[in-house]
Structure 1
Amino acid sequence: MKRITFILFLIFIFIKSFCNNKLQCDTICYAKRSGIKLNIELISPCNFNHKMPAIIFFYGGGWIKGNREQFRPHASYLAHKGIVAILADYRTKEQCNATPFNCVEDAKSVIRFVKNNADKFNIDTTKIVAAGGSAGGHLAASCAYISNYNHPKDDLSISPRPTALVLFNPVIDNGKNGFGSDTIKKNYMTFSPLHNIKKNNALPTLFMVGDNDKLVPLKTAQKFKDLTEGNGATCILKVYKKQEHGFFNYKPNSNNKYYKITLKELESFLHKLGYLQK
């Protein structure tokens, strides 16, 4: 009898563990613009009865192309750890001839939509991380630091500001010698995150970049760190030797060394913020 009870107990533990490891995936349209649907995909732990932190990923591609698959491995991993991970669409030039300014509008709309539906999504609005790579990193940082470029249909009473940033080689300097200067031109002062970090608006940030990155110079990364910390927030700058732009991406049939390293760095950052339980 004791043996049967023990076996049943083991079966119960196995089933509970299996259920707890399952994820719920929901694709939701947050806006229709330029004739296309813009979606977010929520990847959440199945069994939870409390509001959870969230991390919103914006893919890269120079505001020209890309899709939300870029950060799916990151999102799935973090959702298993107990955080709502969100993959976001936004308009791109290839899709509908969108401008970088349209991209910023959409990124802000995503965060406003998530906050407005936080109760339904079981999200704690005091713990929302904006994350992204390259131009997606720009969008994440723009939600924190750029006040212009809001879509006319947005509810401006809802702030698009996250509570922390995770930036994978982000193009945060759009000034005269920065990324996209030929497109942004004189608008850089209202578009470039690096030029808009001020007292009392700086956010805790994890900034990851390779020292061979031709698009995001190390001096730009260091300047971002100095401005962030000079205005009262922590900025963890991680520089990876001999790595170029996009070094962090997950690649099938690869050992994915730097994907794993940067993912663990991201997980550690979330632990330090108190957004993940050890």
Structure 2
Amino acid sequence: MSLGARIFIMMCRKSDKKRDKGLTVPPGVETQCGISYGSFGKWSLLDVYRPKSVEGKLPVIVSFHGGGWVYGDKEVYRYYCMELAKRGFAVVNYNYRLAPKYRHPAPLEDTNAVFSWIMKNKDSFGFDTDNIFAVGDSAGATGIALYACILTSPSYAANYSFKPPAGLKIKGLALNCGIYDNEKRFGGAKRLDFVSKESFKKSLSEMTVCKHITEDFPPCFVMTANADDLSAESPPFVKILGEKGVRHIYREYGTDDHRLYHVFHCDARSEDAARVNDDECSFFRELMG
């Protein structure tokens, strides 16, 4: 693992620990945790959160966590995902294999296994699989957007050995503070923790969302923050969505007097995060018709 990745992980752990200190499971949410969805031990675990007040089938939100492909797990994202569950959704929060031990396309393979698990277990867990949505931030926004490309572009899907489960359709995405052109951002690098040296250029091309959008890409809520270091990544991506005729909403949160930073929406205590999560869940409900 590179020194840069080690420093990044250390900073993230410190920040996330401070953010979530003292938080507990909200009283209105029921949890089922540590469910195995695959064959990679601790990497292949997921949680399901539901609002206690609602019985029967619920629309589903799947969360692809961020962390630069080298950091993060479902524990880091549990309180954020529980906030989404409070808004009337069954939320699936999962681990996936991390770099540098596991590199592209391992996270996408794991994501496919999660969606396969959802389709197989829809009755047992009360999933309304006619209304499946997904959220991702930072690297997670990249990852879930790439998986949506697999579902909507046969030519792109041909790059991968796995097949999505029959009948799966992601009805809408919320993409938060993401990177959508890995070729542009990392093309000059000599080494990256999340791609192999042997397939460096090919992997970066495969991981460049902007290259693989079709008119069938799911409707998107694209969010960034005014003080996010990655804020410049979103407008070119949004432009492509418009050119392809993909339904979308683009929002930059924060003002000159109120600066907001990378993945601020994950803070369960924040009124700003609550506003974003309300906006994105409202967008999902509109798509349900």
Range into which the TM-score falls when normalised by the shorter chain: 0.7 to 0.9
- How many residues get paired? 244
Per-residue CA distance 1:85-129 (angstroms, 9 max, x = gap): 1111101126xx111321121122211221222122211212111
| Structure 2 match to 1:3 | none
Provide the rounded CA distance (Å) in 2 between the counterparts of 1:60 and 1:179.
21
Deviates more, 1:156-165 or 1:263-272: 156-165
Change (3 A) 1:148 1:212: farther
How far is 1:244 from its partner?
3.0
**Equivalent residue of 1:166, what SS?**
strand
**Gapped runs of 5+ residues in structure 1?**
1-20
Change (3 A) 1:92 1:81: same
Indicate if the aligned counterparts of 2:172 and 2:284 stay in contact, CA closer than 8 A: no
| Structure 2 match to 1:76 | 82
**Gapped runs of 5+ residues in structure 2?**
1-26, 151-156
Indicate if the aligned counterparts of 2:177 and 2:231 stay in contact, CA closer than 8 A: no
| Structure 2 match to 1:243 | 260
Indicate if the aligned counterparts of 1:143 and 1:160 stay in contact, CA closer than 8 A: no
Per-residue CA distance 1:132-179 (angstroms, 9 max, x = gap): 1111111211210132565x6x56453665221111101222113358
Provide the rounded CA distance (Å) in 2 between the counterparts of 1:68 and 1:268.
24
| Structure 1 match to 2:208 | 192
Indicate if the aligned counterparts of 1:202 and 1:232 stay in contact, CA closer than 8 A: no
Change (3 A) 1:168 1:85: same
Is 2:161 the partner of 1:166? no
Indicate if the aligned counterparts of 1:38 and 1:89 stay in contact, CA closer than 8 A: yes
Change (3 A) 1:26 1:71: same
| Structure 2 match to 1:205 | 220
Change (3 A) 1:80 1:174: same
Change (3 A) 1:170 1:259: same
Change (3 A) 1:102 1:116: same
Per-residue CA distance 1:31-82 (angstroms, 9 max, x = gap): 122x545111011234545322100112111000112133323322332332
Task: Give TM-score scaled by structure 2 length.
Answer: 0.74
| Structure 1 match to 2:121 | 117
Deviates more, 1:75-84 or 1:51-60: 75-84
Q: CA RMSD in A?
A: 2.7
**Which structure exhibits the higher relative contact order, with contacts defined as CA atoms closer than 8 Å and separated by 6 or more residues?**
2
Provide the rounded CA distance (Å) in 2 between the counterparts of 1:116 and 1:203.
22
Change (3 A) 1:194 1:227: same
**Equivalent residue of 2:96, what SS?**
coil
Is 2:277 the partner of 1:263? yes
Higher-Rg member (1/2): 1
Change (3 A) 1:101 1:265: same
Aligned mate of 2:36, from 14, 19, 29 = 29
Q: Report sequence identity in percent.
A: 23
| Structure 2 match to 1:228 | 241
Task: Give TM-score scaled by structure 1 length.
Answer: 0.77
